[in-house]
Amino acid sequence: MPVETIKWEHGRVKYIDQTMLPNFFVEHLTDDYLVIAEAIRELQVRGAPAIGIAAAFGVVLGAQKTFCKTLGEWTSLIDHIIDELAQTRPTAVNLFWALNRMKNVLHADHPSIDKAQKALFNEAMQIMNEDKRICREMGNNGAVLIQDGATILTHCNAGALATADYGTALGVIYAAKEQGKTIHVYADETRPLLQGARLTAWELMQNEIDVTLICDNMAASVMRQGKIDAIFVGADRIARNGDTANKIGTYNLAILAKYHSIPMYIVAPLSTVDLEIMSGKDIPIEERAAIEVIAGFGKRTAPENVHVYNPAFDVTPHDLITAIITEREVIYPPYDGKLIKLKKIS
């Protein structure tokens, strides 16, 4: 049973504060959508699918604490809450996808505020439950690509902590393990926020999967030594042509993988595919504060006032991606028409 990153409990949302891992396992309980917004902004909840689920629950929390005389007035207040939640982070499309689903439900024909609240709650639960099922489907689709005894390199955290179930990229590894395969993992520490060191290493150790931590700049050296059989990572937004935004450093890895002839797999639900975006150059890339780079660990490690460039994501062009593993099927290049087709029937 994977760790429960986010759940609904007696009218409240309970979530793991991922900024405290691995030193402290802290869960927060809240009935306040603004706490959820802050949790997303500050990466207490992170990972594209988990952000979508948290935002959907945020709408439910806002809806159950908003009281009005008329449904129309109430609906416009909830619209405002949805807009606020949409401002939290710009890159992961699952946030907007989930909030759009909530907005569509909000604007359906409800007989009363009470019924509308109930419908929003049901939609959020459905988003979460779908994500659980989808994780398993991606895991099974991807696991066939992993041989017994294989060594996988992963980046950031695309595991249980990023989803409602056992993850996207790490889900594939967990599924392979459930099939009886022995898997070794190298985890990039993933600067600046060390999601690989803090979250992926922790999560894999919890699940008794052999993991070796490396700094991001050691990946090429490890590949050169022939230690890596495949790379599996998640995604924050996939453009129509297959270009994929994911945690900063993923594009690095994709180039290194190509150079060393190692397959590079993206694992993501179809909710991460954004058909409105034609190619990677149109994906908005979040830039975060310098402090994450120069003093991220309780100690200043760079000079005062140094200029810092701190993009949270990069875009891997589709021609560096061996395949995209979705809940429906494993898609091989060319991606263009296939993503459109799968997305439309999903």
Site for a second copy in 217-236 (CB under 8 A): 217-222, 224
C-beta of 307: minimal distance to a second copy in Å?
A: 4
Q: Which is nearer to a second copy, 104 or 217 (CB)?
A: 217
Determine, following the binding rule CB under 8 A, whether residue 307 of this chain makes contact with a second copy: yes
311-330 positions binding a second copy, by CB under 8 A: 311, 314-315
Closest CA to 234 of 220, 242, 243, 245: 245
Radius of gyration, CA atoms only, the chain? 20
Q: Is cis: bond before 22, omega within 30 of 0?
A: yes
Closer residue to a second copy in complex, CB, 210/329: 210
Verify binding: residue 248, a second copy, rule CB under 8 A: yes
Candidate list 236, 243, 274, 314, residue with the active-site label = 236
- Of 46-54, 63-71, 87-95, 208-216, the segment contacting a second copy by CB under 8 A is 208-216
297 Rama sector, left if φ>0, alpha if ψ -120 to 50, beta otherwise: alpha
The one segment of 12-20, 30-38, 132-140, 198-206 that binds a second copy by CB under 8 A: 198-206
Which listed range, 64-72, 73-81, 161-169, 188-196, lies at the site for a second copy (CB under 8 A)?
Answer: 188-196
- Residue 22 makes contact with a second copy by CB under 8 A: yes
100 backbone φψ class: left, alpha, beta (φ>0; ψ -120 to 50)? alpha
Bridge partners of 16, per DSSP, are: 27
CA 47 to CA 195: how far, in whole Å? 10
* Residue 263: other Cβ atoms inside 10 A: 15
Q: Omega into 303 within 30° of 0, i.e. cis?
A: no
Per the CB < 8 A criterion, the answer to whether 186 and 227 are in contact is yes
Active-site residue flag, 236: yes
Give the residues lining the site for a second copy (CB under 8 A). 22-23, 186, 188-192, 194, 197-198, 201-202, 205, 210-222, 224, 248-249, 251-252, 255-256, 258-259, 293-294, 296-303, 305-311, 314-315
